[in-house]
A = this chain, B = another copy of it.
Amino acid sequence: MILLDNSIHARSYQAPEGNLEFKPIPSNGICTRLGDKWTVQVLWRLSRADERRLRFSALKKEIDGITQRMLTLTLRNLERDGLVVRHYFPEVPPRVEYELTDMGTGVLHALEGLNFWIRDNLPTIEEHRRAYDKAEQ
């Protein structure tokens, strides 16, 4: 997904006036990434943390249901894209913190429109789904 397929809430979304002004640009995997199961959840948790930084274990604790493996993979991809930076402290036991970059913050802002749209339209969509499924038996 883009937004959470688990989580809650917000203010109102004003659809822009007039016609659609974009031709969709190639996203080179960005959208697939944002649409996966955990990415936005991770970005959002980091955005709410002190100094936009959290330890691996803190993220794992906050994100319900995520496995160590998936958290690692998700963070690696975000790091590779420059949305998150990894800070490694070679203590014993080791400590690792992940920090949201400005670009990481930016993508969350860019998702606000979609977020509000979903909030406003999800009930209607689910209504359609029920009707459709019923018609199919």
Contact = CB atoms under 8 A, between A and B. Distances in A.
A28 interface: yes
A1 B41 contact: no
**Copies per assembly:** 2
A27 B121 contact: no
A47 B34 contact: no
A124 interface: yes
Main secondary structure of the interface of A (DSSP, over half): helix
Contacts of A81: 125, 128-129
B108 A20 contact: yes
Given A30-B118, A47-B20, A106-B15, A25 B1 contact: no
A8 B35 contact: no
Size category, A interface: 35 or more
16 contacts: A2-B2, A2-B27, A3-B25, A10-B21, A10-B25, A20-B108, A20-B109, A24-B44, A31-B35, A79-B132, A103-B125, A106-B121, A110-B113, A110-B114, A110-B116, A111-B113
Given A24-B115, A28-B125, 16 more contacts: A1-B2, A1-B31, A2-B30, A3-B24, A3-B25, A4-B24, A5-B31, A20-B105, A24-B40, A25-B122, A81-B128, A81-B129, A110-B114, A110-B117, A112-B113, A114-B114
